[in-house]
Amino acid sequence: MAKRELQMKKRMLAILVIFTCIAVLLILRTGYLQTIQGEELQKQAIAQQTQDKQISAKRGTIYDRNGKALAISASVFRVSVSPNIIKEEKNADKVIDTLSSILELDRESVEKKVNSNTYYQDIKRKIEKDVADKILEADLAGVYVSEDTKRYYPYGNFASHVIGFTGDDNQGLNGIEMVFDKELKGTPGRIVSASNAKGTQMPYKYEQYIDAKDGMNVVLTIDEVIQHFTEKYLKQAYIDNKVAAGAACIVMNPKTGEIVAMASQPDFDLNAPFTLDEATQAEIDKLQGDEKKNKQNEALQKMWRNKAVVDCYEPGSTFKIVTASMALEENVVKDSDRFTCTGSKKVGPFNISCHKHAGHGTQTFEQGVQNSCNPVFMELGARIGADKFIEYYNAFGFRDKSGIELPGEAIGPFYTRENFNEVELATSSFGQGPQVTPLQLISAVSAVANGGKLLQPYLVKQLTDQEGNVVQSFETTVVREVISESTSKRMCSILESVVSEGTGKNAYIKGFRVAGKTGTSEKLPRGSNKNIASFIGFAPADDPQLVCLVLLDEPNGDQYFGGTIAAPVVRDILNDSLTYLGVEPEYSGDEVASTEVMVPDVTGSTVDAAKKMILAQNLKVKVIGNGEEIISQVPQGHFSVTENSTVILYTSDTESLVTVPDVTKLGVNEAKNILTNAGLNPKISGIADGDKAGQVVSVKQEPAAGEKVSQGTVVTVEFVHTDVD
């Protein structure tokens, strides 16, 4: 008996110990849950008892410098479902059928989301109001329609590589949209409401509304008008010259560093950034699997590539601006110095050619720049020396990123000091060897134009709130002084002579003093017959307002020299842009003497009175018909023509039509004679009036050959100098 009682006591003691241990563990666990995990568990409990719906913030607008909206957020809607409520209401089939039909979605995909175990599911985003209204009219329990936003670009392809685009979630994926995504996107709001154990929403009093904070606006330095000029002329050059590897253009204010225009070709539609051109897509569609996917991604990346910022190239003769500036600043060349070009120069074991194989003969320093003579620049490079050359190369910013507000900015390779010997120095002096970006080059040339200060180029002028208040401004940043003001002035004068007398004649603009430099570089590997044609120019030469660089990569037209096909593009952009900015032209004596005259409007006048008015303007006159009163005239009144043009006056409804002859690929006199003999008025463009020296040939005409036009119609013929590099 005693033994049995002892066993019982032991058993009870064991049970007591077990229960005590369990109690202690429970106390410890409870304490742990309350003190250590309490906050997290509370959050989970709240999450299970609340419904949390996000409210999209309005993405900020991107404006040009004058307040023109370039990227805006339009109001659209999103459709979402609450699977818990749909299960409770037992209306899943109706919801699935209705949503898949109205939203034009695959039924299986909708079914998967409706029957999911998640609290909240987006069915479709960015739907228009008329579709949203149909969903609301269906009045489906567990289905919600909330406000959403969609990014919209009113000008389609405009400044596509600068502005960039957003993805489905309104996140910036390229350009300014990407770099300033944080500032643009704002902070989403929320609607938090309580729910019961079944997931059913509780009454309104349990709801908390957290306002969305709209994003800031970005004001660019881009001028929408100048950007349009830039894109128009660059695209035409890209097409006309059958450019295979793309084209780029930058227009910069050299006094501030502001980029007022930047364009690359080919461009793309910002409203459909994942859509390739039909020809490219057709080729990709022939592929299968990973190969197709990789080619698709490769084609998109190529289309989105901002050539002006991320591509490095050999600048060729445009780099001679930098070399000449170095030489002047270091006082290793004087205006009185004479150089002799025989067509080549021996450097070490190599005989390095000039672009003019016959040689330029004896010339001054200024003439050497005008002629873009390689031997002159090789001599300048030798005088500067390798150490100083590298020092200036770095100072001009070619070994640094500029800090432009765009993704992917590149830095081109350059020689180490150990590998930079006399041959490398010689070729680098005329732009063969250095690898630079268009942005780096235009920044360096802007320093030459503005008095010697290297400025940081920038694209964003201001950040503003939704009321237009300025939150942050971006100002001109001087990186360093590279050359003196006196060197800058001398270089501006020399570069102006390159346009007026040298290889840059095709950049000439009547009334505006244009300075600039041509460039034609052979791509690697040498002998591939692939070239880059470029021109960089600024105006007015004595007070530069704009610097413009145009680059055409692998032109395959009749010409490939930068002075022939890139210089006219810079000319047209600068001409239109300076006129738009209100820069007054200043005509030289020769230009004033050959200034065009305005045709007077003589309709309704008698024949005698009309003749007197026309002859008084140094114009010729021809009357067709036997009437006494002028009923029509060609050219029309207030039309600008050159002196001695013929005005055709009609006194009857009979109109004399002529066929426009083809005057392309001809000299000035020949083209004029053919048009005049056809009863048409020639108007010469692209060259200085009366400038027929060198190799001048017509490249374009408007109206085109073969068109039927009225006798007396003005035919504009564009000429270019072909004796350029």
What was the pLDDT predicted at 721? 87
Beta bridge partners of 550: 249, 535
In contact, 578 and 512? CB cutoff 8 Å: yes
Instruction: Name the phi and psi angles at 547, rounded to 5.
Output: -115, 135
Identify whether residues 358 and 441 lie together within a single domain: yes
State yes or no: pLDDT of 186 exceeds 60. yes
Q: What is the pLDDT of residues 371-416, one digit of tens each?
A: 999 999 999 999 999 999 999 999 999 999 999 999 999 999 999 9
Per the domain annotation, does 297 fall within a domain?
Answer: no
Closest CA to 176 of 71, 276, 97: 71
Q: Is 21 a domain residue?
A: no
Q: Tokens for 441, please give them.
A: 């080059």
Which residue among 220, 246, 264 closes a domain? 220
Alpha carbon distance 229, 246 (integer Å): 18
**Whole-angstrom Cα distance, residue 522 to residue 258?**
31
Tell me whether residue 657 is in a domain.
yes
How far is residue 423's CA from residue 378's CA, in Å, rounded to a whole number? Answer: 9
Does residue 173 sit within a domain?
Answer: yes
pLDDT value of position 403:
93
On whether residue 321 sits in a domain, the answer given is yes
Per-residue confidence at 594, pLDDT binned at 50, 70, 90? Answer: low
Given a cut of 60, whether residue 697 has pLDDT beyond it is yes
Calculate what percentage of the chain has a pLDDT beyond 70: 89
Look at residue 50 in the predicted model and tell me its pLDDT: 53
Number of alpha carbons in the 13 Å side-chain half-sphere of residue 641: 25
Please indicate, yes or no, whether residues 366 and 481 belong to a single structural domain of this protein: yes
Residues 148, 113 within the same domain:
yes
User: Which residues pair with residue 324 across a beta bridge?
Assistant: none
**Do residues 613 and 656 share a domain?**
yes
Whether residue 427 has pLDDT greater than 50: yes
Alpha-carbon distance 128 to 138, whole Å? 16
Q: Are residues 668 and 580 in the same domain?
A: no
Q: Is residue 134 part of a domain?
A: yes
Q: Residue 253 falls within a domain, yes or no?
A: no
The residue out of 586, 604, 629 marking a domain boundary is: 586
Dihedral-angle region of residue 126 (phi above 0 means left; psi in -120 to 50 means alpha; beta otherwise): left
- For residue 562, what pLDDT is reported? 95
Name, in order, each residue with C-beta under 8 angstroms of 37's C-beta and a sequence gap of 6 or more: none
Token pair in block for residue 410: 């590149």
545 and 463 both lie in a single domain? yes
In the predicted structure, residue 539 carries a pLDDT above the cut 70: yes
List the CATH number of the domain containing 671. 3.30.10.20
pLDDT beyond 60 at 269: yes
341's tokens: 């070009």
Q: Is the pLDDT of residue 38 over 90?
A: no
Confidence at residue 686, expressed as pLDDT on a 0 to 100 scale: 82
Kindly state whether residues 502 and 602 are assigned to the same domain.
Answer: no
* Cα–Cα distance, 161 to 442 (Å, whole number): 18
User: pLDDT of 195-218, one tens digit each?
Assistant: 554 444 444 444 555 677 889 999
Summarize the confidence of residues 155-178 as an average pLDDT. Answer: 94
- Are residues 620 and 543 part of one domain? no
- Using the 3D structure, point to which of 586, 609, 630 is the last residue of a domain: 586
d(CA 503, CA 683): 23
Q: Are residues 565 and 619 in the same domain?
A: no
- Mean pLDDT confidence for 170-192: 87
Helix spans in 543-685 (H): 562-565, 567-580, 589-593, 607-615, 668-677
Show which residues are catalytic. 317
Which CATH number do you get for residue 178?
Answer: 3.90.1310.10
Q: Smallest Cα–Cα separation from 574: which of 537, 604, 601?
A: 537
Alpha-helix runs per DSSP H in 651-715: 668-677
As a whole number, mean pLDDT of residues 314-337 equals 97
Q: What is the mean pLDDT of residues 254-269?
A: 97
181 and 318 both lie in a single domain: no
Q: At 522, which CATH number?
A: 3.40.710.10
DSSP structural state of residue 66: T
Q: What does the alpha-carbon distance between residue 551 and residue 554 come to, in Å, rounded to a whole number?
A: 10
User: With 50 as the cut, is the pLDDT of residue 240 above it?
Assistant: yes
**pLDDT bucket at 30, cuts 50 / 70 / 90:** low
User: For position 12, what pLDDT does the model report?
Assistant: 72
In terms of domains, do 622 and 548 share one?
no
Separation of alpha carbons 308 and 264, rounded Å: 7
Whether 498 is covered by a domain: the verdict is yes
The pair phi, psi for residue 173, each rounded to 5°, is -115, -10
This prediction has a pTM of: 0.84
Q: Decide which of 685 and 305 is more confident.
A: 305
* Separation between Cα atoms, residue 648 and residue 41, nearest integer Å: 93
| Structure tokens belonging to residue 207 | 């709801």
β-strand 696-702 against 714-721: which pairing, if any?
antiparallel
For residue 505, the 8-state DSSP code is G
pLDDT tier, 117 (very low <50, low <70, confident <90, very high otherwise): confident
Residue 690 has pLDDT above 60, yes or no: no
Per-residue pLDDT tens over the stretch 433-482: 999 999 999 999 999 999 999 999 999 999 999 999 999 999 999 999 99
Encode pLDDT of 509-533 as tens digits.
989 999 999 999 999 888 888 999 9
Provide the 10 A C-beta neighbour count for residue 505. Answer: 27
Mean pLDDT taken over the chain: 89
Token pair belonging to 610 = 């009309």
Specify the number of domains making up the chain. 3
According to the model, what pLDDT value does residue 94 have? 86
Residue 178 has pLDDT above 60, yes or no: yes
Write out the residue range of the structural domain in which residue 391 sits. 313-586
Q: Is the per-residue pLDDT at 154 higher than 60?
A: yes
Residues 570, 661 within the same domain: no
User: Residue 148 and residue 53: Cα distance in Å, rounded?
Assistant: 12
pLDDT digits (tens, 9 = 90+) for 338-373: 999 999 999 999 999 998 999 999 999 999 999 999
